[in-house]
C-alpha cells in the first residue's frame, strides 16, 4: 500500500509508527513494574513456618547451645595446646642447659657442686611434671571438644529430620502461592489482551490508530512475554497444557479466518465486474497491482503483458481504455494518465457516444 501513498503521507505514516512504538514502550515499562510488584502482595514463605513450633524452638535453642559449647571448647583446646607447646619448649631448653652443665662438671669433678646437681634435677622434674600436666589438659580439652562436636552433630541431625518432615507441606504451599500470584498477574494481563483484540478488530484503522497499535503491542508483550516467566511449572505440565491450549485457540482462529476469507472471496467473485471494483478500496487495489497480483482474487497475473486486460482467474477488469483519448489505462485509476480526464467522466462520455 505504501507505493500508492503520497510522499508526505509516507513520512507521516512512519512518524506515527514511531509514536505507536514509543507509546508501547512506555506502557511495557509501566506494565513490567506492575507485574513485578504483584509478587509482593503475599508474604514470602519460610520452611520453619511448617515445623512444629515447640519442637523447633527447643531444637533451635539446643543447637545454638551446642554450637556455642563447641566454639568455646575449640578455643579452650587451642589455649591448652599452646600452653603444652610452651611447657615442652621450657622443658627441652632446661634439659639442654642441664646436659651442658653436667658435661662441664664432669671435667672439673668438683664435689662441692653436688647440691647444685640435686637442685637442677628437681627443677627438671618440676618442668617435666608441668609438661605432663599441660598434656593432660590438652587431652581433656580434646575430649570436651569431641563431646561438643558429637552433640552438635546430633542436634543438626534432629533439625534436619524436622526440616524433612516440613519440606512437603512447605513446597505445596509455595506452589499454591505461585499459582495465586500467577492468577493475580493473569487477571491483570488477560483483560488487556481482550481489550487489545477488540481494538484490533474495531479501531486499528481509526483516527487514533498509533495509540491503538501501541496498546496492542503492549498487551501482546505483557501477556506472551512478561507473564510467561511466572507461569507455574508443576513438572512442565502447566506450561505444555497452556501451550497446547494457546496453539489450539490460535490455530482454530486462523482456520476460521481462512474459511471466512475464502467465502468472502467466492461471494465477491460472484458479483459483476463493476460491483467488485466499487467494493475495492483505491489504495488496496493499487497496492495489489504493484505487487503483480489481481486486486480481486489476489492471484498472480502477468501485468506486463499488454494483451491482458482482465484477470484470467476471476475475470475482473484490470485495464480499460479512456473514453476521451482511448489510451489503455489502469481500470482502477481515477484519472487518465494520458489526457487527465477523470475516469468517471470518461465513462459517461463513452456511454453517451
User: Phi and psi (nearest 5°) for 241?
Assistant: -65, -45
Q: Could you tell me which residue, 62 or 114, shows the higher pLDDT?
A: 62
pLDDT at 342: 85
pLDDT band at 236 (very low <50, low <70, confident <90, very high): low
Q: Give residue 234's pLDDT.
A: 59
Instruction: Please state the φ and ψ torsions of residue 321, each to the nearest 5 degrees.
Output: -120, 140
Q: Is the pLDDT of residue 15 over 50?
A: yes
350 has pLDDT over 50: no
Across residues 4-16, what is the average pLDDT? 71
Most confident of 113-117, 262-266, 314-318: 314-318
| 285-307 b/e (C-beta count within 10 Å ≥ 16 → b) | bbbbbeeebbbbbeeebebeeee
- Find the mean pLDDT for residues 131-139: 84
pLDDT tens per residue, range 187-217: 888 888 889 888 888 888 888 889 999 999 9
Q: Where are the alpha helices (DSSP H) in 38-52?
A: none
3-state SS track over 226-287:
HCHHHCCCHHHHHHHHHHHHHHHHHHHHHHHHHHHHHHHHHHHHCCCHHHHHHHCCHHHHHH
CB atoms under 10 Å from CB of 106, counted, come to 8
Q: Which of 66-70, 84-88, 118-122, 313-317 has the lowest mean pLDDT?
A: 118-122
CA distances from 314 to 188, 286, 297, 299 (A): 48, 17, 6, 9
pLDDT the model gives residue 107: 47
Please state, for a pLDDT cut of 70, what percent of the chain lies above it.
86
On whether the CB atoms of residues 11 and 198 are closer than 8 A, the answer is no
Residue 88 has pLDDT above 50, yes or no: yes
Sign of CA dihedral 242, 195, 213, 256: positive
**pLDDT bracket for residue 302 (50, 70, 90):** confident
pLDDT surpassing 60 at residue 328: yes
H or E stretch covering 329:
strand 328-330
pLDDT grade for 5, boundaries at 50, 70 and 90: low
Residue 80 Rama label (left phi>0; alpha psi -120 to 50; beta): alpha
On average, the pLDDT of the chain sits at 79
- Separation of alpha carbons 109 and 103, rounded Å: 10
Please tell me the predicted confidence (pLDDT) of residue 238: 64
> What per-residue confidence (pLDDT) applies to 117?
65
- pLDDT bin (cut points 50, 70, 90) of residue 348 is very low
Count CB-CB contacts under 10 A for residue 112.
6
In Å, how far are 274, 280, 313, 318, 329 from 308, measured between CA atoms? 18, 20, 12, 8, 12
Minimal CA–CA distance to 296: which of 312, 283, 314? 314
Distance CA 190, CA 249 (A): 14
Answer for the pair 98, 120: CB distance below 8 angstroms, yes or no.
yes
pLDDT score at 105? 59
pTM of this structure: 0.53
Q: Which tens digit of pLDDT belongs to each residue from 89-120?
A: 877 777 777 676 666 655 455 555 567 667 76
pLDDT band with cut points at 50, 70 and 90 for residue 14? confident
Q: Check residue 67 and give its pLDDT.
A: 86
The Cα–Cα gap between 298 and 312 comes to 12
- List own/partner pairs for 226-231 with CB under 8 A and 24 or more apart: 226/28, 226/31, 226/32, 226/35, 226/189, 227/35, 227/182, 227/185, 227/186, 227/189, 230/35, 230/39, 230/178, 230/181, 230/182, 230/185, 231/182
Amino acid at each position: 500500500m505504501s507505493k500508492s501513498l503520497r510522499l508526505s503521507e509516507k513520512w507521516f505514516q512512519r512518524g506515527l509508527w514511531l509514536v505507536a512504538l514509543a507509546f508501547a514502550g512506555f506502557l511495557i515499562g509501566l506494565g513490567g513494574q506492575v507485574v513485578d510488584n504483584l509478587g509482593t502482595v503475599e508474604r514470602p514463605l519460610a520452611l520453619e513456618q511448617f515445623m512444629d513450633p515447640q519442637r523447633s524452638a527447643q531444637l533451635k535453642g539446643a543447637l545454638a547451645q551446642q554450637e556455642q559449647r563447641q566454639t568455646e571448647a575449640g578455643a579452650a583446646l587451642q589455649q591448652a595446646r599452646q600452653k603444652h607447646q610452651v611447657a615442652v619448649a621450657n622443658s627441652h631448653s632446661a634439659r639442654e642447659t642441664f646436659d651442658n652443665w653436667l658435661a662441664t662438671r664432669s671435667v672439673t669433678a668438683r664435689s662441692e657442686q653436688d647440691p647444685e646437681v640435686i637442685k637442677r634435677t628437681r627443677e627438671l622434674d618440676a618442668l617435666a611434671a608441668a609438661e605432663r600436666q599441660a598434656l593432660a589438659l590438652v587431652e581433656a580439652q580434646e575430649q570436651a571438644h569431641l563431646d561438643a562436636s558429637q552433640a552438635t552433630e546430633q542436634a543438626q541431625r534432629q533439625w534436619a529430620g524436622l526440616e524433612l518432615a516440613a519440606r512437603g507441606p512447605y513446597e505445596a504451599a509455595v506452589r499454591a502461592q505461585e499459582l495465586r500470584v500467577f492468577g493475580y498477574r493473569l487477571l491483570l494481563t488477560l483483560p488487556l489482551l481482550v481489550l487489545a483484540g477488540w481494538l484490533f478488530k474495531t479501531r486499528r484503522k481509526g483516527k487514533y490508530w498509533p495509540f491503538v497499535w501501541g496498546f496492542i503491542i503492549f498487551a501482546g508483550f505483557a501477556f506472551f512475554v512478561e507473564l510467561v516467566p511466572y507461569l507455574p511449572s508443576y513438572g512442565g505440565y502447566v506450561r505444555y497444557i497452556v501451550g497446547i491450549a494457546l496453539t489450539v485457540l490460535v490455530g482454530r482462529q486462523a482456520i476460521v479466518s481462512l474459511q471466512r476469507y475464502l467465502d468472502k472471496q467466492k461471494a465477491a467473485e460472484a458479483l459483476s465486474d463493476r460491483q467488485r471494483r466499487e467494493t475495492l478500496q483505491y489504495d488496496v487495489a493499487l497496492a495489489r497491482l504493484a505487487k503483480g497480483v489481481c486486486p480481486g482474487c489476489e492471484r498472480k497475473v502477468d501485468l506486463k503483458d499488454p494483451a491482458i486486460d482482465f484477470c484470467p482467474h476471476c475475470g475482473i477488469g484490470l485495464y480499460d481504455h479512456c473514453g476521451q483519448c482511448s489510451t489503455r489505462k489502469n481500470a482502477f485509476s481515477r484519472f487518465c494518465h494520458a489526457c487527465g480526464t477523470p475516469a468517471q467522466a470518461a465513462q459517461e462520455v463513452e456511454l453517451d457516444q
